[in-house]
Amino acid sequence: MPGDRDLESIQQARDLVAAAHEAQKKLATFPQEKIDAICEAMSQAALLDVLRLGELAVQETGFGIAADKAIKNLFVARDVHNYFRSLKTVGIIREMNSIIEIASPRGVVAAIIPSTNPTSTAIFKCLIAIKSGNSVVLSPHPSATNCINETVRVVREAAEAAGLPRGAIGCMSVATLEGTQELMKHKLTAVILATGGIGLVRAAYSSGKPAFGVGPGNVPAFVERTADVKKAVRDILTGKCFDNGTICSSEQAIVADAPIDKAIRRELEEQGAYFLTSDQAEKLGRVVVTPAGSLNPKIVGKSAARLAEMAGISIPPGVRALVAEVAGVGREYPLSIEKLSPILAYYVVNGVEEGSKLCYDILRYGGMGHTASIHSRNRDAVRQFGLMIPASRVVVNTPSTHGAIGFSTDLPPSMTLGCGSWGGNVTSDNISPIHLMDIKRVAFETREVIPEAVQALVASSVSPLPPPPPQPQPMGPRLDRESIAALVDKFLAERAKSSPPAQPVAPLPPPPLPPPQVIEARQEKAAEPPKSASPATMANGHRPVDFVCEEDVRQAIARGEKIYINSKTIITPAARDIGEKSEVFARP
């Protein structure tokens, strides 16, 4: 049964959604000019408080660097707002001769906010929701409730002063899992923007509501042999160390092309990275990953010095990032996962094809569909890499942290990055106000439909059937049955005269009878009613399941059971990784 805090959270979610629903009815009547003026006021208010809100986030969560969080706040309040400032989101947004496009808001947006980027994500989701004519209710991560609520207060007060209906922006102050689930499943919630752990994203997709969830990012950085090594290393460390690696698009592994391996290592050390010994890497791995195989939340957003201290290893002063040579990818290699801190795995490959295959494996281990990066001056190599990599964003010659969110590339600026079907997401886009609108299309006739003309068109486009073959004409007088029989008898008699006499053939001996017990068993089996075979039942008597998720696998492991599957079973990437390593799947 839910506790008192859970009940309070559930009731708060209901109240906020109801208020947001009523406010959105008024907001939906606003012209574009008024919507834009409200967003401008929100942007300006956030810009004045980027530093303070960044400091609040670090103080409450213990993650990252305050100055870097301020940059993320600035990026959202200024760059995202400027990018979409002129976007039409109200009424007729595009008119052509034959089609008129009309924007329609979704309604109430349920926005789930993470602890890694709490204030910037809150500003972002408030801005894109209001820009597209929606109201929004935010559910903060429990460990970042205060800084998220303060951020929402700043933009809400500015928006309401500019004319936003009261209740159009709401934020839960009592955040529990039960309250968040109530927010997502509420009948008045129209769409979900979910940023958080894989369990939360899966809950969003199973809520029965349209949802834009984002997956984790285990980002590989391939440094191809033609790369500018000095710049490549600078970019990788810039991305990895920004806010101590708390953005999901930050680099997690360096994949070095063999001809420039030594140059990359030398440049890493010169720019402040430290290569761990095998013993140090093993100690760090025990701190980074829990015994259950998941990321230890206590290491998220911590500095290299703090991570070394937690692992009980000694490193030189001034180290920016820890680098560990890793022999493979998977559960038995703890540092091959997404680390959300200034730790980099290091691999060496030979060529684009080998590098692409390894990057594929890294993404498959917890980052499918998110982001990959390549550093190269060979456009053909970049093209080949892009064709082979299952990532929604492949950024080139830039920090992946900044490139993926649109800070250093021409991608739409966003703090919510879709992972496509690779990551189990509904979109591979950088989420924007466009995703929070329904587009109606008024289409005029461009080709008149005239029944006679249609029939003529069909007649002219269908090949005529070939004429039937001519029927054979009877030749000579028709023979009756008796005449035919006489002719056959005459033919056989003449053939017998010309054939040699047939030699007698000895009869074959009768087959031996089977033993009495076999005869008895056959008689019993013949007396049994026939059994119908079910194609859905395996030889061992178990029926294969249709769908397997990560939670199904974990429950099966805990119970010591097998999950029976066949070629039609749909298995999520995370479930397949865990299930295959634990040998939990069984086949016929």
* Residues catalogued as catalytic: 248
Instruction: Give the C-alpha separation, 381 to 270, whole Å.
Output: 27
CA 143, distance to chain mean position in Å, is: 25
Q: What angle do CA 175, 176, 177 make, to 5 degrees?
A: 135
Instruction: Give the C-alpha separation, 20 to 15, whole Å.
Output: 9
Contacts of 564 (CB under 8 A, 6+ apart): 538, 540, 542, 543, 544, 545, 585, 586, 587
- How is residue 411 annotated by DSSP? S
DSSP H/E element including 274: strand 273-275
How is residue 438 written in tokens? 């329904």
In degrees to the nearest 10, what's the CA dihedral of 428, 429, 431, 435?
-90
* 120 CB neighbour count, 10 Å cutoff: 30
Instruction: Give the C-alpha separation, 541 to 548, whole Å.
Output: 19
Would you give the end-to-end CA distance of the chain in angstroms? 41
Q: Distances in Å between the alpha carbon of 577 and those of 125, 278, 291, 393, 454?
A: 32, 25, 17, 23, 55
Instruction: Give the C-alpha separation, 224 to 232, whole Å.
Output: 10
Identify which of 262, 115, 312, 264 has the alpha carbon closest to the alpha carbon of residue 253: 264
With residues binned 3-state (H G I as helix, E B as strand, rest as coil), the percentages for the chain, rounded to 5, are 45, 15, 35
Determine the number of helices (DSSP H) and then strands (DSSP E) in the chain: 21, 19
